């Protein structure tokens, strides 16, 4: 496997000094403590202080325990930014899951109550702490490349520590007729890939454009069907490994991997596919993205998009807000709703959504497997040069997302778009 190793003590792009040194103590920190006490009374998770006492009275029966290791640091961090401070507090070691409890397990009750865990009068003040997306993270042509590189060019070897052999970094699709835990991961990932290709009606002789290469599995599987594939990525590391995998599969004559932005793509294709790419586009550029899909699709063709989703009301509540996941994991991103996709395509393209297949609980299982593998590979991750701060950040990221999908706050779906006037079957 061709990789580029990173230097020792690599930390996440976007990590800030306040992760280690919280500021703005005083009145705001005391206010943060008061809010946490109120939150504790709404969630069946006990917030346990170092002396064994608890912060507020948790709803019974308990479903988890959070051990607050450094209370004053935690309050100060929340005072700085409530939305970002929780995750940064975990990275810094200010809190952890209580003994005998899993991290995703203690996050789940909060995710289930996310829309009302903070008392309504205080929730109305969110505009005072919400921050807009920094200009440096806007998905301009140059900004998109920086944002993608910040995540996907960390190291191919890093991703290989927790992904399945297909190197698929998107939700698997399990057989709903069997228990998820009993199913093979690679098989479930390939089932996802072929479901997308089926949705896009990819067959022998099809011309296919993939926006967002990943490490090449979808392009390879489409080529094995007899399709001619062009796949686009902005990640140098992904492009190098994808080309190597295409060569190893003997499909160089059927797959072209391009280091190219979707906005600069040309040609017309029978099928345009994009798996978990739209979340990285940014709301500002959704019209550009979907217009590009429309422009690149040949008459009678089909677009198939796999997208992480949230409900429309949650999308409206968070669309102007800069959060932990954007700061530390996916700069420039925003999760859409189905309605947002429908409204964007209706206003800016001839494309219309005609099928939606949602399978959010499959993503919860996918994330459980990724996190278990990542945690088990801690020593290997350390050898690759990623320090404890990075590992804790990614552990929180995977658990945070798992709780989101398990609770239903987040969803994932394969979405088909066609031009109705063309009479696509």
Which CATH number covers residue 36?
3.30.1050
Query: pLDDT class for 118, splitting at 50, 70, 90?
Result: low
Query: What number is the average pLDDT over the span 269-294?
Result: 96
Q: Which residue, 308, 309, 312, is CA-closest to 115?
A: 312
Do 360 and 303 belong to one domain?
Answer: yes
Of 65-69, 124-128, 371-375, 384-388, least confident by mean pLDDT is 124-128
Report residue 50 as tokens: 């170092």
Find the Cα–Cα–Cα–Cα dihedral 371, 216, 359, 263, rounded to 10°: 110
Domain boundary among 74, 106, 129: 129
pLDDT above 60 for 3: no
Are 225 and 87 in a shared domain? no
Specify the pLDDT at position 16. Answer: 41
Q: How confident is the model at residue 135 (pLDDT cuts 50, 70, 90)?
A: low
**333 shares a domain with 363:** yes
Alpha-helical (H) ranges within 182-281 are 185-199, 217-224, 236-248
Q: Are residues 201 and 88 in the same domain?
A: no
Residue percentage of the chain with pLDDT more than 70: 88
Residue 140 included in any domain: yes
Judge if 94 and 145 occupy the same domain.
no
Distance between CA atoms of 374 and 41, rounded to whole angstroms?
Answer: 33
- 318 domain residue, yes or no: yes
Residues 152 and 277 in one domain: yes
Task: Examine the domain organization and report whether 54 and 199 are in the same domain.
Answer: no
Nearest 5°: the CA angle 301, 305, 310 is 145
Is the per-residue pLDDT at 180 higher than 90?
yes
The reply to whether 216 and 350 lie within a common domain is yes
Residues 191 and 63 in one domain: no
Residues 100 and 190 in one domain: no
Average confidence (pLDDT) over 179-187: 97
- Report d(CA 14, CA 394) in Å as an integer: 13
**Is 177 domain-assigned?**
yes
Based on the structure, what is the number of domains in the chain?
Answer: 2
Find the distance separating the first CA and the last CA of the chain, reported in whole Å.
41
* Chain segment 346-367, per-residue pLDDT in tens: 999 999 999 999 999 999 999 9
User: Over 50: is that where the pLDDT of 381 sits?
Assistant: yes
End position of a domain, from candidates 93, 109, 129: 129
Report pLDDT for 320. Answer: 85
Question: Which residue range forms the structural domain that includes residue 124?
Answer: 17-129
Of 74, 107, 129, which one is at a domain's C-terminal end? 129
Say what the pLDDT of residue 25 is. 52
- Do residue 45 and residue 150 come from a single domain? no
Q: What angle do CA 375, 380, 381 make, to 5 degrees?
A: 65
Neighbours of 170 (CB within 10 A): 22
Segment 203-247, tens digit of pLDDT = 999 999 999 999 999 999 999 999 999 999 999 999 999 999 999
Same domain, 142 and 242: yes
pLDDT for residue 1: 41
- Of 151 and 104, the structure prediction assigns the larger pLDDT to 104
Whether 9 is covered by a domain: the verdict is no
Q: Which tokens is 254 given?
A: 């059927």
- What's the mean pLDDT in 154-162? 95
Two tokens, residue 232:
């686009």
Q: What is the pTM of this model?
A: 0.90
User: Picking from 146-155, 219-228, 321-330, 380-389, which range would have the lowest pLDDT averaged per residue?
Assistant: 146-155
Q: Tell me what percent of the residues of the chain surpass a pLDDT of 90.
A: 75
Structure tokens at 30: 């005391």
- The residue among 347, 185, 170 whose CA lies nearest residue 274 is 170
């Amino acid at each position: 496997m061709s990789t580029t190793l990173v230097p020792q003590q690599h930390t996440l792009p976007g990590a800030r000094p306040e992760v280690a040194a919280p500021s703005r103590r005083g009145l705001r920190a005391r206010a943060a403590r008061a809010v946490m006490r109120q939150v504790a009374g709404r969630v069946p998770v006990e917030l346990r202080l170092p002396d064994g006492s608890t912060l507020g009275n948790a709803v019974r029966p308990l479903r988890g325990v959070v051990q607050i290791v450094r209370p004053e640091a935690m309050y100060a961090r929340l005072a700085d930014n409530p939305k970002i401070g929780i995750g940064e507090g975990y990275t810094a070691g200010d809190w952890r899951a209580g003994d005998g409890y899993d991290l995703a397990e203690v996050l789940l009750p909060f995710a289930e109550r996310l829309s009302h865990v903070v008392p309504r009068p205080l929730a109305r003040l969110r505009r005072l702490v919400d921050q807009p997306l920094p200009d440096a993270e806007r998905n301009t042509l140059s900004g998109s490349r920086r944002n993608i590189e910040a995540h996907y060019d960390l190291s191919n070897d890093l991703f290989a520590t927790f992904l399945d052999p297909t190197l698929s970094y998107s939700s698997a699709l399990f057989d709903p007729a069997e228990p998820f835990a009993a199913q093979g991961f690679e098989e479930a990932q390939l089932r996802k890939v072929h479901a997308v290709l089926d949705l896009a009606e990819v067959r022998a002789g099809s011309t296919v454009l993939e926006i967002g290469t990943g490490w090449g599995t979808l392009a390879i599987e489409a080529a094995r069907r007899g399709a001619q594939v062009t796949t686009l990525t902005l990640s140098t590391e992904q492009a190098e490994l994808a080309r190597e995998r295409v060569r190893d599969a003997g499909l160089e004559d059927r797959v072209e991997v391009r280091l190219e932005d979707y906005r600069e793509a040309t040609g017309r294709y029978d099928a345009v596919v994009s798996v978990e790419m739209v979340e990285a586009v940014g709301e500002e550029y959704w019209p550009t993205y979907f217009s590009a899909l429309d422009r690149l699709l040949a008459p009678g063709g089909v677009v198939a998009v796999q997208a992480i989703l949230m409900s429309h009301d949650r999308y409206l509540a968070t669309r102007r807000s800069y959060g932990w996941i954007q700061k530390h994991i996916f700069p420039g991103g925003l999760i859409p709703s189905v309605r947002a996709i429908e409204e964007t395509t209706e206003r800016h393209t001839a494309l219309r959504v005609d099928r939606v297949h949602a399978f959010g609980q499959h993503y919860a299982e996918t994330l459980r497997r990724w996190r278990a593998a990542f945690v088990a590979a801690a020593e290997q991750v350390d050898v690759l040069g990623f320090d404890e701060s990075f590992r804790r950040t990614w552990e929180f990221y995977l658990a945070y997302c798992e709780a989101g999908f398990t609770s239903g706050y987040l969803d994932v779906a394969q979405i088909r778009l066609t031009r109705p006037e063309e009479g696509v079957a």
